[in-house]
Structure 1
Amino acid sequence: MPGRRTTTVEFVRGSVRGGRRRARSWLPSMFTLANMMCGFGAILVAFRGEYRLACALIALSVVFDIADGAVARLVGAVSPFGLQFDSLADLVSFGLAPALLVFALFSDGRDELDALGWIACFLWVACAAIRLARFNTTIDPTADKRYFTGLPSPGAAGVVLASVYAFADVMQGRDRLWVLIVVLLPALLMISNVRYRSFRSLVSPKSGRPYGLLLTLLVVVIGLVVVPTVACGVVAYSYLLSPLVIPLLSPLARLVPNRVKELLS
């Protein structure tokens, strides 16, 4: 009897532990699913002419995309399935959603220059797909994890949504041709070899003193509340131009006291 009772107790404990492991493994996927849902919602509302709402939904997709990776590392649930699922969600939220948002804004279903919209928006989707496929197939364990090769698709989508959010209500008719130009540069940068800083380490649970991250987030949140249009544009275009701007500003970092650098690191 004691042996049978012990076996039963161990079986129950093992089942509980297995259930907890399965719950932890699915937790990051819930954030990935939320990312995809927001991207899909952005597509639907874009074709109803609610461009700013579509931008807000794509911005939420960016938040969920950052969160799913952070949660996966936090609970130790990084897996090949999670990587592939995340890429498929990103293709919806940062490939299809921005392209269809731009096409809906540019063409409005009636413009004779729709062909230009088709070409530019398909170029965006193709570049996003190539960017994600290249990322999945060229993972190098020895590579510098602080950088991405090519503009990440969420960063590229941020440029589009910031531009549309700022100017969609003031542009009419053929004036909307500007939005196709906004699409071209980020699309080509996604498949380029330009290195972009990865902020993955800043949201890692191993970050011991994330004071710099907290200060940056505080400034961004205040900006989004007070002047959302300006804040979105500054954040999106600063990251887009960061490979050019950071080398120019790096000499100024020598003027910052070492004590301040340590506090912000």
Structure 2
Amino acid sequence: MPSTPWRRRRSTDSPRPAGRRWAGRLRRGGSLARQALLVRVGRRSTETSRAATATRAEVLYTGSEPGLIRTLPAPGVPLDTTPAFDAVPADEESIPATIPLLPGEPTMARRVRFALVNACTLSSLGLGLFAIFLAMAGRPQIAAACLIACVAFDGLDGALARKLGVASPFGAQMDSLADMCSFGLAAPVVVYASLAGRVPPAAAAVAAALVAGCAAIRLARFNVSPKDGRYFSGVPTTMTAAVLALAVLIGLQPLPGFAVLAGVALLAFAMVSSFPYAKLARIIKLPPWLWLLPVVGALQDVRMTFVMVVATYLVSGPIMWMRAKRA
């Protein structure tokens, strides 16, 4: 049979055998199908990853429709199996979950004891505020006496909380805030008022600001650090405030004003240092003959004995740190 023009054109243009031509067509068709499938799968995976990212990033999101709130899934529930939105009526009032201030059985007796402990903390806070007012009125010595009372109430609330069995995280935070007011703010203001006329106001202001800043750092570090029953890491704010208040009460007029400023700055840096300082319980257990030395010294010269006792305590931290490094 004579070949048609169409067949002659195909045989001229495609010299390959017919089997190879059909195989090429099948390969091209399979490639196109695979590409279309990959595009659809890629789009789905992209949309899924975007939805998961949005669910993780948004903790609480009010959608375009009223009453729809996006929330994170509960712990242990996979993100992919959690619905994106929880239908909550917009007019329904939700009550947030609260943590009880007093852990344990909320009996009336425990509540009274808890209130008594927090009353001591608030008394320390109020006395610190009163000390600021007295210092601003030009009566730094009476303000220093209020600081000594703050120290007493600060030690009393912790002892009562442990004794009465009402210690709580709320009480610890209250105590820290009261310490910042009484020892981190009131004590520097009292020191600033006591140095009026002895040193330049700018120098006194810098020393007071240094005490306040170091006290804030010291309290924040104490709240997040592990507790040691034997030593403090740095001089506590309570002891620093007590030293400053006693220095104002007994009066350090014989010392130059800049020497007093240097002592205030040294106390501030000692608060934020990492040197170990013995707690009061370990100091009380010292041999009795060691207690006789400051007593005899106070009978001779109270001011010099006070300075020597404070200097000895400040030096004890670096000494114990060096001994621990050598061991």
Selected match of 2:314 from 222, 240, 251: 240
Q: 1:152 to 1:189 in 2, by over 3 A?
A: same
Q: Is the 1:163–1:182 Cα contact (8 Å) retained in structure 2? A: no
The one-letter amino acid paired with 1:138 is S
Q: 1:192 to 1:152 in 2, by over 3 A?
A: same
Q: 1:40 to 1:79 in 2, by over 3 A?
A: same
State yes or no: 1:176 paired with 2:250: no
Equivalenced residue count is: 218
Q: 1:194 to 1:240 in 2, by over 3 A?
A: same
The one-letter amino acid paired with 1:118 is A
More helix by share: 1
Selected match of 2:249 from 162, 165, 184: 165
State yes or no: 1:25 paired with 2:117: no
Selected match of 1:136 from 223, 239, 262: 223
Whole-Å separation in 1 of the counterparts to 2:163 and 2:136: 38
Selected match of 2:174 from 46, 67, 85: 85
RMSD over aligned CA atoms reads: 3.7
Selected match of 2:235 from 151, 174, 178: 151
**TM-score, structure 2 normalization:** 0.56
Q: In the alignment, what sits opposite 2:24?
A: none
Q: In the alignment, what sits opposite 2:275?
A: 194
Q: Is the 2:277–2:316 Cα contact (8 Å) retained in structure 1? A: yes
Q: 1:220 to 1:40 in 2, by over 3 A?
A: farther
State yes or no: 1:113 paired with 2:203: no
Partner SS for 1:139: coil
Q: Is the 2:124–2:154 Cα contact (8 Å) retained in structure 1? A: yes
Pairwise CA distance, 1:19: 1.1
Q: 1:125 to 1:211 in 2, by over 3 A?
A: closer
Whole-Å separation in 2 of the counterparts to 1:159 and 1:55: 10
Pairwise CA distance, 1:125: 0.3
Q: 1:32 to 1:224 in 2, by over 3 A?
A: farther
Whole-Å separation in 1 of the counterparts to 2:173 and 2:289: 33
Q: Is the 2:276–2:320 Cα contact (8 Å) retained in structure 1? A: no
Partner SS for 1:196: strand
1:212-239 CA distance string (max 9 Å, x none):
899999x999x99998767765664554
Pairwise CA distance, 1:159: 2.3
Whole-Å separation in 1 of the counterparts to 2:259 and 2:122: 32
Q: 1:244 to 1:138 in 2, by over 3 A?
A: closer
Mark the runs of 5 or more structure 1 residues left unpaired by the alignment. Answer: 1-15, 203-209, 248-265
Pairwise CA distance, 1:122: 0.9
Mark the runs of 5 or more structure 2 residues left unpaired by the alignment. Answer: 1-104, 322-327
Q: Is the 1:159–1:237 Cα contact (8 Å) retained in structure 2? A: no
Whole-Å separation in 2 of the counterparts to 1:170 and 1:112: 14
Higher RCO (Cα < 8 Å, 6 or more apart): 1
Q: Is the 2:276–2:318 Cα contact (8 Å) retained in structure 1? A: no
Q: Is the 2:132–2:186 Cα contact (8 Å) retained in structure 1? A: yes
Whole-Å separation in 2 of the counterparts to 1:195 and 1:25: 32
Larger Rg: 1 or 2? 2
Q: In the alignment, what sits opposite 1:12?
A: none
Q: In the alignment, what sits opposite 2:150?
A: 61
